[in-house]
């Protein structure tokens, strides 16, 4: 099959190597000519996925029309906050084709998940949309290190097609029909991962990290249930699996942001030096906006907003979480 990937960052490039292993023809679109030249001439994406040699059935372009004319399936790996502007500005037309999302976030302002953004901007129908998510750092996927993810769609035929396209002996794809739960799990875990990084930056211990992950997962399940997601989804790859790896991995951009904050640095300085996007920062803002309209208790997420955007001391935030009124574990 011919597969067009919108976004040639680390994740888009890593997924291109997966698809290439199954003998698909891959076209990567990037707005940066230097990146497309590097891929086509040097068989590498040194900027976003260094150290990985790209096979010959991957080519790159900065011409959107070249992608449209050839693609049977579209894969979107642009960060969530840029999807609307990229799809609108460059005029990608992907109606009547399967669209797969590799982004993990909630759009600021509209509070839309990626499936909703794509329906709003490109009129992509739910039965043609699949989210591909789970614990899957690009740095490891690009090196063919065993990885498992989940493809979620309201359409069984669409999720099955994605399973077939992406599955390799080292990249295993499960299926799910809970697209809401899978999208929210992938987005919300990034907020908790920033908090995990703060714990690392403050040199706190394993007990603290375990408490954060466990109670963070409870918050993710709580908000998912309010949107009609299956709570069990959050115990799977798109929830607990992705949460665990993002809170602990050296590859995690969101954990890195939190770690630097824990060490006393300012958010704007951290983001200014990063080549790639830590989606959890924007998602924290979206969750804060969302909680203004829903009666859901998410104390960790709220404290993260105060740390990132109100300059609250991380130590003060942790203290306030610890001295909250006691209650049963499950409620």
The H or E element that residue 180 is part of is helix 179-201
33 is catalytic: no
Catalytic residue among 143, 189, 209, 312: 189
Q: Please give the full DSSP string across 39-88, using - where no structure is assigned.
A: HHHHS-BTTTBTT-PPPTTEEEES-HHHHHHH-SEEEE-S-HHHHHHHHH
Contact by Cβ (8 Å): 102, 15: yes
Q: Is 135 exposed, middle or buried (0-12, 13-18, 19+ CB in 10 A)?
A: buried
Output the six-digit token pair for 61. 């372009």
Round to whole Å and give the CA distance between 114 and 107: 8
Round to whole Å and give the CA distance between 224 and 214: 15
Contact by Cβ (8 Å): 151, 175: yes
Round to whole Å and give the CA distance between 274 and 243: 22
Q: Where in the sequence numbering do the catalytic residues fall? A: 189
């Amino acid at each position: 099959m011919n597969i067009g990937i919108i976004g040639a960052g680390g994740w888009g490039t890593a997924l291109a190597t997966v698809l290439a292993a199954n003998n698909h023809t891959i076209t990567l679109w990037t707005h940066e000519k230097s990146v497309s030249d590097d891929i086509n001439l040097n068989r590498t994406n040194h900027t976003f996925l260094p150290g990985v040699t790209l096979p010959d059935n991957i080519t790159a372009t900065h011409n959107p029309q070249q992608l449209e004319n050839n693609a049977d399936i579209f894969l979107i790996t642009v960060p969530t906050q840029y999807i609307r502007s990229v799809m609108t500005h460059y005029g990608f037309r992907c109606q009547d084709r399967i669209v797969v999302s590799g982004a993990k976030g909630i759009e600021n302002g509209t509070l839309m998940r990626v499936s909703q953004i794509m329906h709003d901007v490109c009129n992509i129908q739910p039965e043609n949309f699949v989210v591909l998510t789970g614990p899957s750092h690009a740095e490891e996927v690009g090196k063919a290190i065993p990885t498992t993810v989940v493809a979620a769609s309201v359409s069984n035929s669409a999720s099955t097609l994605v399973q077939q396209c992406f599955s390799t002996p080292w990249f295993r794809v499960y299926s799910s029909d809970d697209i809401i739960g899978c999208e929210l799990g992938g987005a919300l875990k990034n907020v908790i991962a920033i908090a995990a990084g703060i714990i690392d930056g403050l040199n706190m211990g394993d007990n603290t990290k375990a408490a954060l992950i466990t109670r963070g997962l409870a918050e993710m399940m709580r908000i998912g249930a309010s949107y009609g997601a299956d709570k069990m989804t959050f115990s799977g790859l798109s929830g607990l699996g992705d949460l665990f790896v993002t809170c602990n991995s050296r590859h995690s951009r969101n954990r890195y942001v939190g770690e630097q904050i824990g060490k006393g640095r300012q958010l704007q300085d951290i983001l200014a030096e990063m080549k790639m996007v830590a989606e959890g920062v924007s998602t924290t803002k979206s969750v804060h906006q969302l909680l203004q309209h829903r009666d859901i208790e998410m104390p960790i997420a709220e404290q993260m907003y105060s740390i990132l955007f109100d300059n609250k001391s991380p130590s003060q935030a942790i203290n306030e979480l610890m001295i909250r009124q006691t209650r049963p574990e499950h409620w």
